[in-house]
Protein backbone atom coordinates (compact mmCIF):
# COMPACT_ATOMS: atom_id res chain seq x y z
CA UNK A 1 0.00 0.00 0.00
CA UNK A 2 0.96 3.61 -0.51
CA UNK A 3 0.23 5.37 2.78
CA UNK A 4 0.57 9.06 3.50
CA UNK A 5 1.29 10.22 7.05
CA UNK A 6 0.26 13.83 7.57
CA UNK A 7 1.77 15.49 10.63
CA UNK A 8 1.25 18.86 12.25
CA UNK A 9 3.28 20.12 15.19
CA UNK A 10 5.65 23.11 15.25
CA UNK A 11 8.34 21.43 17.39
CA UNK A 12 10.61 18.65 16.10
CA UNK A 13 11.61 17.78 19.67
CA UNK A 14 7.99 17.23 20.75
CA UNK A 15 6.48 13.92 21.78
CA UNK A 16 4.02 14.29 18.92
CA UNK A 17 6.84 14.55 16.39
CA UNK A 18 8.40 11.42 17.92
CA UNK A 19 5.07 9.65 17.29
CA UNK A 20 5.18 10.82 13.67
CA UNK A 21 8.69 9.35 13.23
CA UNK A 22 7.55 6.09 14.87
CA UNK A 23 4.62 5.80 12.46
CA UNK A 24 6.73 6.52 9.38
CA UNK A 25 9.54 4.15 10.42
CA UNK A 26 7.15 1.33 11.29
CA UNK A 27 5.12 1.71 8.10
CA UNK A 28 8.25 1.84 5.94
CA UNK A 29 9.04 -1.78 6.81
CA UNK A 30 6.01 -3.03 4.85
CA UNK A 31 4.59 -0.16 2.80
CA UNK A 32 5.54 2.75 0.59
CA UNK A 33 5.20 5.93 2.65
CA UNK A 34 4.72 9.61 1.88
CA UNK A 35 5.77 11.49 5.03
CA UNK A 36 4.13 14.92 5.02
CA UNK A 37 5.27 17.23 7.79
CA UNK A 38 3.16 20.33 7.24
CA UNK A 39 5.16 22.55 9.60
CA UNK A 40 8.55 21.62 8.14
CA UNK A 41 7.12 22.13 4.64
CA UNK A 42 5.91 25.58 5.76
CA UNK A 43 2.43 24.81 4.48
CA UNK A 44 0.24 27.91 4.49
CA UNK A 45 -3.08 27.09 6.17
CA UNK A 46 -4.86 30.21 4.89
CA UNK A 47 -7.14 29.65 1.94
CA UNK A 48 -6.30 31.97 -0.94
CA UNK A 49 -8.82 34.28 -2.58
CA UNK A 50 -8.68 32.22 -5.79
CA UNK A 51 -9.34 29.01 -3.85
CA UNK A 52 -12.34 30.44 -2.04
CA UNK A 53 -13.82 32.08 -5.15
CA UNK A 54 -13.60 28.79 -7.05
CA UNK A 55 -14.83 26.61 -4.16
CA UNK A 56 -18.48 26.59 -5.25
CA UNK A 57 -18.12 28.06 -8.73
CA UNK A 58 -15.65 25.35 -9.85
CA UNK A 59 -13.41 24.09 -11.00
CA UNK A 60 -11.58 24.53 -7.70
CA UNK A 61 -8.27 26.36 -8.13
CA UNK A 62 -5.82 23.82 -6.68
CA UNK A 63 -2.76 25.47 -8.22
CA UNK A 64 -1.08 26.33 -4.91
CA UNK A 65 -1.66 22.87 -3.40
CA UNK A 66 -1.42 20.68 -6.51
CA UNK A 67 1.37 18.46 -5.12
CA UNK A 68 -0.66 17.62 -2.00
CA UNK A 69 -3.82 17.12 -4.06
CA UNK A 70 -1.95 14.75 -6.38
CA UNK A 71 -0.68 12.74 -3.41
CA UNK A 72 -4.14 12.53 -1.88
CA UNK A 73 -5.59 11.21 -5.12
CA UNK A 74 -2.90 8.49 -5.33
CA UNK A 75 -2.66 7.09 -1.81
CA UNK A 76 -4.30 3.90 -0.58
CA UNK A 77 -4.27 5.04 3.02
CA UNK A 78 -3.80 8.14 5.14
CA UNK A 79 -2.81 8.57 8.78
CA UNK A 80 -2.97 11.88 10.64
CA UNK A 81 -0.62 12.54 13.56
CA UNK A 82 -1.20 15.72 15.57
CA UNK A 83 -2.06 17.13 19.00
CA UNK A 84 -5.50 18.35 20.01
CA UNK A 85 -5.34 21.92 21.27
CA UNK A 86 -8.53 23.44 22.66
CA UNK A 87 -10.18 20.12 21.71
CA UNK A 88 -9.40 20.64 18.03
CA UNK A 89 -6.66 20.12 15.48
CA UNK A 90 -3.90 22.73 14.99
CA UNK A 91 -4.62 25.53 12.51
CA UNK A 92 -2.02 24.11 10.11
CA UNK A 93 -3.92 20.82 9.80
CA UNK A 94 -7.31 22.54 9.60
CA UNK A 95 -5.94 24.63 6.73
CA UNK A 96 -4.73 21.44 5.02
CA UNK A 97 -8.28 20.08 5.08
CA UNK A 98 -9.75 23.41 3.93
CA UNK A 99 -7.38 23.76 1.00
CA UNK A 100 -6.58 20.17 -0.07
CA UNK A 101 -9.74 18.20 0.76
CA UNK A 102 -11.66 20.47 -1.59
CA UNK A 103 -14.30 20.10 -4.31
CA UNK A 104 -13.13 17.95 -7.19
CA UNK A 105 -10.68 16.14 -4.95
CA UNK A 106 -12.40 15.01 -1.75
CA UNK A 107 -15.98 15.44 -2.92
CA UNK A 108 -18.28 16.61 -5.67
CA UNK A 109 -21.00 19.15 -4.93
CA UNK A 110 -24.65 18.68 -5.71
CA UNK A 111 -25.56 22.23 -4.78
CA UNK A 112 -29.18 21.94 -5.91
CA UNK A 113 -29.78 18.91 -3.70
CA UNK A 114 -27.49 19.99 -0.89
CA UNK A 115 -25.50 16.75 -1.01
CA UNK A 116 -21.89 15.86 -1.63
CA UNK A 117 -20.48 12.76 -3.29
CA UNK A 118 -17.27 11.25 -1.85
CA UNK A 119 -14.40 11.17 -4.35
CA UNK A 120 -11.54 9.72 -2.28
CA UNK A 121 -12.63 6.14 -2.85
CA UNK A 122 -8.98 5.25 -3.49
CA UNK A 123 -8.37 5.59 0.27
CA UNK A 124 -8.95 2.27 2.03
CA UNK A 125 -7.34 3.19 5.37
CA UNK A 126 -8.07 6.27 7.52
CA UNK A 127 -6.08 6.49 10.74
CA UNK A 128 -5.51 8.99 13.52
CA UNK A 129 -2.77 9.14 16.16
CA UNK A 130 -3.29 12.06 18.48
CA UNK A 131 -2.74 13.54 21.91
CA UNK A 132 -4.92 15.58 24.26
CA UNK A 133 -3.84 17.72 27.17
CA UNK A 134 -7.05 16.89 29.00
CA UNK A 135 -8.13 13.59 30.55
CA UNK A 136 -10.31 11.25 28.49
CA UNK A 137 -13.45 11.83 30.57
CA UNK A 138 -13.32 15.61 30.06
CA UNK A 139 -12.69 15.18 26.35
CA UNK A 140 -15.45 12.66 25.79
CA UNK A 141 -18.17 13.46 28.32
CA UNK A 142 -17.88 17.19 28.95
CA UNK A 143 -16.64 18.38 25.55
CA UNK A 144 -18.13 15.46 23.55
CA UNK A 145 -14.90 15.02 21.58
CA UNK A 146 -15.46 17.61 18.80
CA UNK A 147 -12.14 16.92 17.07
CA UNK A 148 -12.89 13.24 16.67
CA UNK A 149 -16.37 14.03 15.36
CA UNK A 150 -14.96 16.25 12.60
CA UNK A 151 -12.51 13.56 11.52
CA UNK A 152 -14.92 10.64 11.56
CA UNK A 153 -18.22 12.27 10.63
CA UNK A 154 -17.06 14.81 8.05
CA UNK A 155 -13.68 13.71 6.62
CA UNK A 156 -13.63 9.92 6.77
CA UNK A 157 -16.92 9.66 4.80
CA UNK A 158 -15.16 11.34 1.85
CA UNK A 159 -13.14 8.12 1.53
CA UNK A 160 -16.16 5.95 0.75
CA UNK A 161 -17.91 3.17 2.61
CA UNK A 162 -15.25 0.46 2.58
CA UNK A 163 -12.52 2.43 4.38
CA UNK A 164 -10.97 0.82 7.48
CA UNK A 165 -10.13 3.13 10.33
CA UNK A 166 -8.46 3.44 13.70
CA UNK A 167 -8.12 6.14 16.33
CA UNK A 168 -5.34 6.10 18.92
CA UNK A 169 -5.21 8.83 21.55
CA UNK A 170 -2.96 9.60 24.50
CA UNK A 171 -5.12 11.59 26.92
CA UNK A 172 -4.01 13.79 29.82
CA UNK A 173 -0.69 14.77 28.25
CA UNK A 174 -0.46 17.68 30.69
CA UNK A 175 0.20 15.09 33.39
CA UNK A 176 1.85 12.40 31.29
CA UNK A 177 4.86 10.49 32.51
CA UNK A 178 7.77 8.84 30.70
CA UNK A 179 6.02 5.52 31.37
CA UNK A 180 2.67 6.64 29.92
CA UNK A 181 4.36 8.09 26.83
CA UNK A 182 6.45 4.95 26.28
CA UNK A 183 3.37 2.74 26.66
CA UNK A 184 1.42 4.78 24.13
CA UNK A 185 4.30 4.80 21.67
CA UNK A 186 4.41 1.01 21.88
CA UNK A 187 0.66 0.84 21.36
CA UNK A 188 1.04 2.97 18.23
CA UNK A 189 3.98 0.90 16.95
CA UNK A 190 2.02 -2.33 17.46
CA UNK A 191 -1.10 -1.05 15.70
CA UNK A 192 0.86 0.38 12.77
CA UNK A 193 2.87 -2.83 12.36
CA UNK A 194 -0.42 -4.71 11.89
CA UNK A 195 -1.38 -2.70 8.81
pLDDT digits 0-9 by tens, 92-131: 999 999 999 999 999 998 877 778 999 999 999 999 999 9
The 10s digit of each residue's pLDDT in 43-101 is 999 999 999 999 988 899 999 999 999 999 999 999 999 999 999 999 999 999 999 99
**Which residue(s) pair with 13 in the sheet?**
none
CA 138 to chain CA mean position, Å: 22
Choosing among 3.40.190.150, 2.30.30.100, 3.40.190.80, 3.40.50.360, the CATH entry for 2-193 is: 3.40.50.360
Number of H helices, E strands in the chain: 7, 7
Domain ranges for the chain: 2-193
Per mean pLDDT, which of 66-75, 135-144, 160-169 is the most reliable? 66-75
Give the residue-averaged pLDDT of 12-22.
Answer: 98
Question: Looking at residue 33, what is its pLDDT?
Answer: 98
- Give the residue-averaged pLDDT of 156-179: 95
Which distant-in-sequence residues (6+ apart) come within 8 Å of 170 by Cβ?
A: 130, 131, 132, 176, 180, 181, 184
pTM over 0.85: yes
Amino acid sequence: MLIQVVHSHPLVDSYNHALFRTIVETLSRRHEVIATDLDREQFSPAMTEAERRSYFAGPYDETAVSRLVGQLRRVDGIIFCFPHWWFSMPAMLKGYFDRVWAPGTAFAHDLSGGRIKPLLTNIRLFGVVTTYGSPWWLTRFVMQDPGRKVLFRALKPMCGRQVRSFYLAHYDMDRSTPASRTAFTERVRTRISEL
